Amino acid sequence: MKKRATLDTERFSISALSRSELIDNVHGVQDIKLFNLYKERILKWKNIQYKYLKIRIKLLKLSQIQRAGSIGINRIKDTIIILLTSTSVIKGDMTLGQMLAVQYILGQLNGPIRDFVNYIQSTQDTKLSIERLGDYTDKIYKEPFLNNREFQSSRNIVESLVFENVTISKNENTILENININIPYGTKVGIVGESGSGKTTIINTIMNYEDITHGGVYFGKSKIDSYSHEERYSNFSAVLHDTYIFSDTIKYNITLTNKIDFKRLNKILNICLLDDIVNELPYKLKTKIGKGNSSLSQGQKQRIIIARALYKNFNYLFLDEFTNALDNITRKLIVKNIYEYCKNKTIISIAHNIKDLDYVDYIFCIKKGKIIEKGTPKELFKKGSYFSKLYTFEI
């Protein structure tokens, strides 16, 4: 069983690798062409297939051995029966008819024995599959399925967001160090800093993708993990780097539901300057987008993702470099519209473009995981500040 388990796990991970390789090759075809990667990719693919084949052969050998075992048992059993019954017939204890009857009856055992061995093999396979499925669900659902809190109606969270001495380390690297932030409800905050300084990690910590090494994150006085995932998410909305566009209509991609509040949808289309774009499309809101459908530009897709974030009910909005595909004129207008729409909500916006910060009340500058400056935009624009250097290309 142990050997079978190891082989089966290996087979599973190689087959997963092979599939993700296939997906990479199909989706990355443009880069494969551009960077002339044909040979390497084919070689890699062949290697994976070769390893997969080797494991399949090993597994086949193992099951053949198990099957050979069952056949062997049957044959030995048959020989013993023939020996015993025929000696009885020779001695006169049994008639020829009785011998044939006994042989026939005992011969019927062959089927059940074979079935029993097959049964053991399938039980082993099923057990391995269930264990693997368990690993997967454990990874996705950190909280148990039947958490009582999940069945309560969601609480509306309108509290200040507090980081108290938060440190996050990964593999002995300190990503955030001793972060203290207090964001009263309804405040608009900007987070700035060079790439890799820890900005995205701050948002991920709030959304609880990251494990905190020291310190705590609070809504008012309660730790954020005293709220269930569902409660937290029903109060959050976000435009993140890797938001996914589903292969579906524009309408679905914005609302993510089939019960649509059209008044709300029209308002959001207006905020994101999407109404003209949608109206010019032949199928309007029913136009299909997503993988394989290229009816929208990058900037237009980004606006769909912003619209999705705004359509949701939320009290806290997280924006992570959310305008990087937009031109300056569109950016300025959309940022203005969003801040007007979110008057009584908290916004945390990570920005490389100073225009994203037009309406924020307060800014935190992060460098190598530490807050090195904070204040209102006016205060931070002092000559010589790190913030002013970041935005005047002096760094």
Ligand X SMILES: Nc1ncnc2c1ncn2[C@@H]1O[C@H](COP(=O)(O)OP(=O)(O)O)[C@@H](O)[C@H]1O
Name the site residues for ligand X (rule: CB under 6 A).
170-171, 173, 175, 193, 195-201
Q: How far is the CB of 196 from ligand X (least distance, A)?
A: 4
Cβ closest to ligand X, residue 197 vs residue 249: 197
Q: How far is the CB of 193 from ligand X (least distance, A)?
A: 6
> Least distance to ligand X from the beta carbon of 168, Å?
8
Nearer to ligand X, 170 or 389 (CB): 170
Residue 200 binds to Mg ion (criterion: CB under 5 A) = yes
Least distance in angstroms from the C-beta of 358 to Mg ion: 20
Cα(112)–Cα(56) distance, rounded to whole angstroms? Answer: 27
* Residue 193 interface partner, choices ligand X, Mg ion, none, CB cut-off 5-8 Å depending on type: ligand X
Rank residues 192 and 250 by Cβ distance to ligand X and give the closer one. Answer: 192
- Check: CB of residue 314 under 8 Å from CB of residue 346: no
Q: How far is the CB of 69 from ligand X (least distance, A)?
A: 47
Three-state SS for 94?
A: coil
Q: Is 381 exposed, middle or buried (0-12, 13-18, 19+ CB in 10 A)?
A: middle
At closest approach, how far in Å is the CB of 152 from Mg ion?
34
Restricting to residues 291-350, which ones interact with Mg ion according to CB under 5 A?
A: none
| Residue 216 interacts with, from ligand X, Mg ion, none (CB under 5-8 Å by kind) | none
| DSSP calls for 210-241 | S--SEEEEEETTEEGGGS-HHHHHTTEEEE-T
Q: Using CB distances below 5 to 8 A depending on partner kind, what does residue 197 bind out of Mg ion, ligand X, none?
A: ligand X
Short-list 289, 290, 270, CA closest to 281: 289
Q: Decide if 289 contacts 296 (C-beta within 8 A).
A: yes
> What CA–CA distance (Å, rounded) separates 151 from 149?
5
Q: Which is nearer to Mg ion, 296 or 319 (CB)?
A: 319
For residue 201, the partner it binds in ligand X, Mg ion, none, with Cβ less than 5 to 8 A by kind, is: ligand X
Q: 3-state class of 377 per DSSP?
A: helix
By C-beta, is 159 or 373 nearer to ligand X?
373
The answer to whether the CB of 220 falls within 8 A of the CB of 185 is no
b/e string for 90-99 if b means 16 or more Cβ within 10 A? eeeebeeeeb
Residues that bind Mg ion in the complex, under the rule CB under 5 A = 200
